[in-house]
Structure 1
Amino acid sequence: MSEINFDKPFMPFDGMVEKLRSKHLTINNDIDKKLLRILLKDYGYSFIINGYKHPFTHKDVNGNEFFNDNVSVQDIYNMYFIDSTLSELLFKNALHVENKLKATLGYIIAEEYGVDSNLDSDSSYLNSDNYTDNGKSSNVLGKIRSKISNPYSSSRLLKHYKTSKNHIPPWILVQSLTFGELIRYYKIQEEDVKTKVVNNFLPCKEQDVANTKALFISSLELLRCFRNSAAHSSPIYFFDPYTDEKNTNEKILPKKELIKFLGPNIFNNNFDPRIKNFGRKDLYGVMLVLILLLNTLQGRAFLRDLQNFNNTLQDETFTNIEYLKYSHLPSEYIQRLENARKHLEENILWQIL
């Protein structure tokens, strides 16, 4: 049997260091080498190097990749630090939106259809008659019902209700749903239920309901994709949520509606027009969605945390400039977000009483 020459054979840490040196990464002394070994040991070559090298590399005429002049190990670590810290901050706030959606949807379903979870009862809030028949309802409801009928449910909360209560109210059931399942559950609701949910986040006039619903679902989908990416520790500076998904045009944030809620200054920029859908399906778009869907106190806290984080960085450092460039974040993105929040509070959120 012939021996296989594997594309990616095992390589010891010293070999990885020499490989990076041959690619012109600046390793001047033992301190650089020690830092590099720590990064390789703690994070792995694929994650820390392949994940954060992109702003610092180029290819020669033969297609071989090299680091740019004077790129150091510290530059790569700084890129990772900025990206991972920002990811944690955005992820925390995405959870606030997810939890509010659970609370809102659970409350409204109970208000509309009651709390009977008996799957054999006509009065059950999970009766298919309570949901729109959009071709996906039966599949979505089947998976949700299985959480009640499955005796081996992994949710401790559901187990508690199954063993100590005589029903599982909707505000408890939604707690067991993933963000993706929660969004799909929202999608199969009747239009009047959707309207009530949307108005809890984005109050709007009757003639604007359809457009606001489109903005709301696009916002949730973008946040879902970001949440999944961040939860798996993927670098977010080149976040592109719909690379492998279908019907992506339906999931891009509608620019007109964004401006209506957040004001025109969010897109007042001199960005390269080749950056397609700027602020509508990228990292900046995720930030806009958080400003849009967080409540007033959460939105203000989010902006404070962003500003505090930004204060720890030196605006003109090489790494920070490269991060803004590759993530397509405007240099004054925090000010834009603050203006958007102010516009939202003064023109929209006052309607929630």
Structure 2
Amino acid sequence: MKEQDKPFKTIDEQIEILRSRGVVIDDHKGARELLLRNNYYSVINGYKEFFLDKDRCNQDVEVYRRGTRLEDIATLYRFDTMLRFSMTHCLLNAEKALKTVTVHAFCERHRGIEDYLDPACYCSKRDYKGTNYTKNLIRLLSTMQSLRDGKGGRPYIEHYRREHGGVPLWVLSNALTFGNMSHFYDLQSIGVQNEACHLLCETIGADRLGAKKLRMAYSTMTDFRNVCAHGGRLFCARSGVRGDRRFADMVRYLVLVSTEPEGEFALSAIMQAFRVLAPIEGLPEIVLDEMGIGHAKQANADNPLANVVNAGKK
């Protein structure tokens, strides 16, 4: 039998490993409680990179920066957890709003009960702004056809198909993911996209929103919504083909498509989470830079995220 590379370790063994790597643990009982209540991999492996001494680490040895405490790592883990919970709420509201206006815009132009299954109701390959047009269109239509046929096991879809002879998009959309709707929007004609923008502006009290910007908002928020849904690290997450969109970009798009109260709630929730980092010297600056808002802290040291949120309103 092959020897395990990563054999099981007891809680006490995990604590000793951390101590041997330079982590300060004064409260053994508290450390046990932390690691019993939270998975070692999620807390330590998930957030250790921000505390490691890169100059003293190699492929076989991990060494933490001098003075690193277990509670510092736990605090960053707790901060990201708080951030994830609050942003999930905000992103779900944004998802609901974007779905609603996109579906309405499509159905206003295509009145057939199941026109969403007709390839002719989508943009041409020439007008498509992304890549892999044919593949993405076929995949979307296949997903919608499967849901329409009841393969998702959703009683309300079966009810509409049985009682009304078809399943309208405003019913089917409840079973579509944020990612599905992002692709759906991308594949619409510019007329449908512009109408969705117009309807969204009407709901949030904005003057104008371009189709390209809404497409970017859809894409970015979908990626961050998926991070939240799968319990990933949020504050340092990256989005986009080149990984060049960060948390700050997500916040800007979130504020862009939200009402003012929703935007203010997002800012308040982020700042509330951020307060847990304040006692740890140097950590807030590291986190701000990872979030892509390091520049904002010079402009407004008391409220570094306000500049990011305000930028989203422009």
Q: Could you say whether these structures have the same fold, taking a TM-score greater than 0.5 normalized by the shorter chain as the test?
A: yes
The one-letter amino acid of 1:200's match is L
Q: Secondary structure at the match of 2:53?
A: strand
- 1:69-113 Cα shifts (integer Å, max 9, x gaps): 121121111111111111221221111111112111221222111
Tell me the CA shift for residue 314 of structure 1: 6.5
Distance 1:283 1:107 in 2: 29
Distance 1:326 1:125 in 2: 40
Tell me the CA shift for residue 196 of structure 1: 0.8
Tell me the CA shift for residue 308 of structure 1: 4.3
Q: How does 1:1-353 map to 2 (within 5 A)?
A: 3-28=1-26, 32-61=27-56, 63=58, 64-117=61-114, 124-134=115-125, 135=134, 136-150=136-150, 152-201=151-200, 212-242=210-240, 248=241, 277=244, 281-310=245-274, 312-313=275-276, 315=278, 317-318=280-281, 319-330=283-294, 331=297, 332=300, 333-340=304-311, 343-344=313-314
Distance 1:177 1:223 in 2: 15
- Specify whether residues 299 and 5 from structure 1 end up closer, same or farther in structure 2 by C-alpha distance, changes over 3 A only: same
The one-letter amino acid of 2:288's match is L
User: 5+ residue gaps in structure 1?
Assistant: 118-123, 243-247, 253-276, 345-353
Contact 2:236–2:290 under 8 Å retained in 1: yes
- Specify whether residues 338 and 98 from structure 1 end up closer, same or farther in structure 2 by C-alpha distance, changes over 3 A only: closer
Distance 2:270 2:57 in 1: 42
- Specify whether residues 36 and 164 from structure 1 end up closer, same or farther in structure 2 by C-alpha distance, changes over 3 A only: farther
Tell me the CA shift for residue 148 of structure 1: 0.9
The one-letter amino acid of 1:40's match is L
- Specify whether residues 220 and 16 from structure 1 end up closer, same or farther in structure 2 by C-alpha distance, changes over 3 A only: same
Q: Secondary structure at the match of 2:63?
A: strand
Tell me the CA shift for residue 232 of structure 1: 1.1
The one-letter amino acid of 2:197's match is V
Tell me the CA shift for residue 204 of structure 1: 7.2
User: 5+ residue gaps in structure 2?
Assistant: 126-133
Count of residue correspondences: 291
- 1:290-315 Cα shifts (integer Å, max 9, x gaps): 111112332233233334444x4474
- Specify whether residues 314 and 52 from structure 1 end up closer, same or farther in structure 2 by C-alpha distance, changes over 3 A only: closer
- 1:167-222 Cα shifts (integer Å, max 9, x gaps): 322211111101111111112212211111123345777xxx8xx32222122111
- Specify whether residues 113 and 68 from structure 1 end up closer, same or farther in structure 2 by C-alpha distance, changes over 3 A only: same
TM-score (normalizing by structure 1): 0.74
Tell me the CA shift for residue 338 of structure 1: 4.7
Q: Secondary structure at the match of 1:5?
A: coil
- Specify whether residues 181 and 307 from structure 1 end up closer, same or farther in structure 2 by C-alpha distance, changes over 3 A only: same
- 1:135-163 Cα shifts (integer Å, max 9, x gaps): 2323321221221123x423343233234
Distance 2:216 2:305 in 1: 22
Distance 1:223 1:175 in 2: 18
Among all aligned residue pairs of Structure 1 and Structure 2, give the percentage whose two residues are the same amino acid.
22
Distance 2:291 2:311 in 1: 20
- Specify whether residues 300 and 44 from structure 1 end up closer, same or farther in structure 2 by C-alpha distance, changes over 3 A only: closer
TM-score (normalizing by structure 2): 0.83
Tell me the CA shift for residue 38 of structure 1: 2.3
The one-letter amino acid of 1:301's match is F
- Specify whether residues 316 and 33 from structure 1 end up closer, same or farther in structure 2 by C-alpha distance, changes over 3 A only: closer
Superposition CA RMSD, Å: 2.5
Distance 1:43 1:9 in 2: 19
- Specify whether residues 172 and 313 from structure 1 end up closer, same or farther in structure 2 by C-alpha distance, changes over 3 A only: same
- Specify whether residues 125 and 289 from structure 1 end up closer, same or farther in structure 2 by C-alpha distance, changes over 3 A only: closer
User: Which segment drifts farther, 323-332 or 288-297?
Assistant: 323-332
The one-letter amino acid of 2:84's match is S
Distance 1:131 1:156 in 2: 28
Distance 1:84 1:327 in 2: 15
